[in-house]
Structure 1
Amino acid sequence: MNEFPVVGQELQRKDTEAKAMGEAVYTGDMKFPGLLHGKALRSAYPHARIISIDTAAAQAMPGVHAVLTAKDIPGINIFGLAIQDQPVLAQDKVRMMGDAVALVAADSDDLAEEALGKIKVEYEELPGVFTIEDALREEAPKVHEKGNLLQHTRLRKGNIEEGFAKSDLVVENVYETQRVEHAYIEPETSVAYLGYDGILNVWTSTQYVFRDRRQIAPVVNMPVNKVRVIQMATGGAFGGKDDITTEIQAALLAIKTGRPVKVVWSRRESMICSTKRHPMRMLIKTGATKDGMLMAMEGTVYSDKGAYCSIGHFITKKTGLHLAGPYYVPNVAVDTYAVYTNNTICGPYRGFGILQASFAHESQMDILAEKLGISPLEIRMKNALKHGLTNATGQSFEHGVGFYDTLLKAKEHMEAYDLEEVSGR
């Protein structure tokens, strides 16, 4: 008999019935009397200086209730999950195609779109950097004034030179991963309304209401306790709605107009504005003895951050921490570099940088096994972390280390399957 009320029990998700019956209310379903529709004008270039913005024609249109640029923001014109490096509305220059330069609130979505076309922006196009290699060149154009290297971290365990000296085989390779879109079914959506009580209400498709509130409040120049963020039913996120998306835009327009405002990103906007999984370039060198025991792993990880940080420097660092995989490696040396480019911003995505590392270290294990004449399963079982062994950061786990047992179960299952095949069952 299972003694646990949850573990091992068949449970139904709390939101399953409402979603299956079409009763779940998403932010896009919300309706209010006097609801306005908000849209953002996006940059025409990945990297350019803004010379001027003329909004007169858009403001003169019937049915357009607000046109905002950076000068109209009541608080600070910057936000960011970990580092405040992303402008709400670009003022001096744009750093990626997704940068917003103006906001419009109108009676309809189509009218707001038409008004965006009336806004005239004069740019001076600047050279951009679109690869990690170009961004790290000494003479590279700067995405941010402080430079294109956001963060460098170092991980050291044991003596890497001694580890390779004890290795009978060394495998060295370069692995690259691509930028990946979350592609959730529901696009980024928010509705904002400033209540009669002075409370700014923001209903949104998000993953973290308190971090949203913390970023909204300084921009609208309100105390945090005057900003209320409500998470609606969320039609997919996977990390992509961890960052601010439409919340600040809807809030600014609602405060300016005194009416509820809904902002829904088109799929195109979602593609060019929202965070993506980081493309990474990983140089990895792994040494092992002739019987398949890992002795050393040396690696260098470069991530393409895109134009802003999000929490990508943590993700890049975590890729480095996990580059040795779930294996005991006595000697480890890894350097990670988070690099700004003029590409689309990268941030959280399921796995938080570990999937990129897994691609590299599991490929290395397969290559080592092949070259040493050992089965891929055997080399993993030989090196799997167990109780009392230390990981790449030197941490020893005494509980919850299930990797070896999982491999053992897989081996037993495969052997049982092979026996059934042989017996013809």
Structure 2
Amino acid sequence: MLLSTHAHALVRRIDTSAAERMEGVHAVLTAKDIPGDNVYGIALPDQQVLAEDKVRFCGEPVALVAADDPYLAEEAVAKIQVEYEPLPAVFDPVSALKANAPQVQPKGNLILHTRVRKGDVAQGFEDADVIVEDLFHTHGQDHAPMEPESGMAWVDENGTLVIFSSSQYIYRDRRQVARVLSLSANRIRNIASTMGGGFGRKDDVTVEIFVALLAWATKRPVRLAYTRHESMLTQTHRHPTIVRARAGATRAGKLTALEGVAYGDSGPYASLGIFVIKKMALHLGGPYHWPTYKADSFSAYTNNPIAGAFRGFGVFQAAVVHESLIDRLAERIGKNPLEFRLENCLREGLSFSTGQVMTEAAGLPKTLERLQEYMGEQDLHFNTGSQVMA
């Protein structure tokens, strides 16, 4: 694969002639060679298969090469000439949503705004004796599966396109391939290989469309395996987030209100970012009972690497926020942080941030009680004035 060396740029010219003349090179494909639609996407069809007029992140695929061996393919890729016209880029979700921000996608940089409201938050803060507030940043993270993304494709004796890949969702992959190659789904057979680690990374399309395009163009078996560098550069990651949140409690130890706004960096394409960052608005308060609650989440396009599904699905980022706020409230009112959590955690009969009443699966109280017992058995306790165990 030829990958973009710019985070945001217009593609003015692509010259593949030198690569095409090489002996042992069987196909050199660019966007103009795609038989169907040059677009795919799980949540939104917003991602180009191969960059056509513009690249939107460093590492975006621009061209594909099929050759007799990987070394020859690399040599051919190096001979492809691309003329770029760099554009201003944006690298954080808050800046991306400003009126004068560089536009990553034609329809703007906002993917989805999710609102969650419960009760009168203003009154909740009026009732609070203590209020804590802070700005939180969580970083991106790579899944780093033991086996990087890989796959094979070939056209069998019946003219069926067969794709063998390390995928978490082969039927969804088939729908994406069908659109790009302009084939009916019954002409495509996807087979899932041993996973080799997924963690959400292989929930999205990885190599499937690329090996399918090359196999269909050459009518020869094609294999593609990403290096670790290619995997980390081109594939999805955990969303970096920026969150402003505040929480209130009474001196008696009861939570009264939580308010927050979360911004998720989805990179230049949505992948599953709509659902990941949407969940942040729901889970910003965590497994605790907030009588009043107000949360907004915004998923935004940027020119950073793509973010998508990752274990926890937005809840890990939210946990950084609500657990920090709970600790600070406990410290301000002089409560043991474990006891404070026990007094305020969700139980059957209490309502979640969305207003849903818990009727089952409220297992946190028993977990905290067992932890409390264990700390007693091991003579563990919290240091005065901090939340560090000694």
Q: TM-score scaled by structure 1? A: 0.88
2:137 matches 1:179: no
Partner of 2:47: 86
Distance 1:44 1:162 in 2: 52
Which of 295, 301, 304 is 2:265 aligned to? 304
Q: What do residues 18-67 of structure 1 show as CA deviations (whole Å, max 9, x unaligned)?
A: xxxxxxxxxxxxxxxxxxxxxx1001211010111111110000000000
CA deviation after TM superposition for structure 1 residue 418, in Å: 2.6
Partner of 2:60: 99
Contact 2:52 2:62 in 1 (8 A): yes
Q: Percentage identity across aligned positions? A: 50
Distance 1:328 1:118 in 2: 61
Contact 2:136 2:243 in 1 (8 A): yes
Distance 1:148 1:372 in 2: 41
1:288-367 map, 5 Å:
288-367=249-328
Distance 1:275 1:137 in 2: 24
**Letter in structure 2 aligned against 1:395:** Q
Distance 1:415 1:121 in 2: 66
Partner of 2:92: 131
Partner of 1:269: 230
CA deviation after TM superposition for structure 1 residue 311, in Å: 0.8
Superposed structure 1 runs of 4+ greater than 3 Å apart: none
Q: What do residues 216-264 of structure 1 show as CA deviations (whole Å, max 9, x unaligned)?
A: 1111111112111111111111111111111100000000000010011
2:336 matches 1:372: no
Which of 265, 278, 284 is 2:245 aligned to? 284
Question: Mean Cα displacement is larger for which, 112-121 or 403-412?
Answer: 403-412
Q: Which runs of 5+ in 2 are unaligned?
A: 381-390
1:152-231 map, 5 Å:
152-231=113-192
Q: What do residues 189-222 of structure 1 show as CA deviations (whole Å, max 9, x unaligned)?
A: 0100111212111000111111111111111111
**Letter in structure 2 aligned against 1:407:** L
Q: TM-score scaled by structure 2? A: 0.96
**Letter in structure 2 aligned against 1:333:** K
Distance 2:233 2:377 in 1: 50
CA deviation after TM superposition for structure 1 residue 310, in Å: 0.2
CA deviation after TM superposition for structure 1 residue 177, in Å: 0.4
CA deviation after TM superposition for structure 1 residue 407, in Å: 0.8
Distance 1:155 1:129 in 2: 28
**Letter in structure 1 aligned against 2:66:** A
2:205 matches 1:244: yes
Q: What do residues 354-386 of structure 1 show as CA deviations (whole Å, max 9, x unaligned)?
A: 000001100111111111100010110000111
CA deviation after TM superposition for structure 1 residue 268, in Å: 1.1
**Letter in structure 2 aligned against 1:74:** P
**Letter in structure 1 aligned against 2:132:** V
Q: What do residues 84-131 of structure 1 show as CA deviations (whole Å, max 9, x unaligned)?
A: 110001101000012111110000000000000111111111111112
Partner of 1:402: 363
Which of 255, 263, 279 is 2:216 aligned to? 255
Partner of 2:105: 144
CA deviation after TM superposition for structure 1 residue 137, in Å: 2.2
**Letter in structure 2 aligned against 1:79:** Y
Kindly report the root-mean-square deviation, in angstroms, between the aligned alpha carbons of the 2 structures. Answer: 1.0
Which of 5, 12, 21 is 1:51 aligned to? 12
Q: What do residues 289-347 of structure 1 show as CA deviations (whole Å, max 9, x unaligned)?
A: 10111000000000111110001011001011001110110100001111110000000
3-state secondary structure, aligned to 1:241: helix
3-state secondary structure, aligned to 1:418: coil
Distance 1:119 1:168 in 2: 66
Partner of 1:10: none
Q: Which runs of 5+ in 1 are unaligned?
A: 1-39, 420-425
Distance 1:133 1:199 in 2: 46
**Letter in structure 2 aligned against 1:174:** L
**Letter in structure 2 aligned against 1:126:** L
3-state secondary structure, aligned to 2:321: helix
Distance 1:369 1:196 in 2: 68
2:350 matches 1:386: no
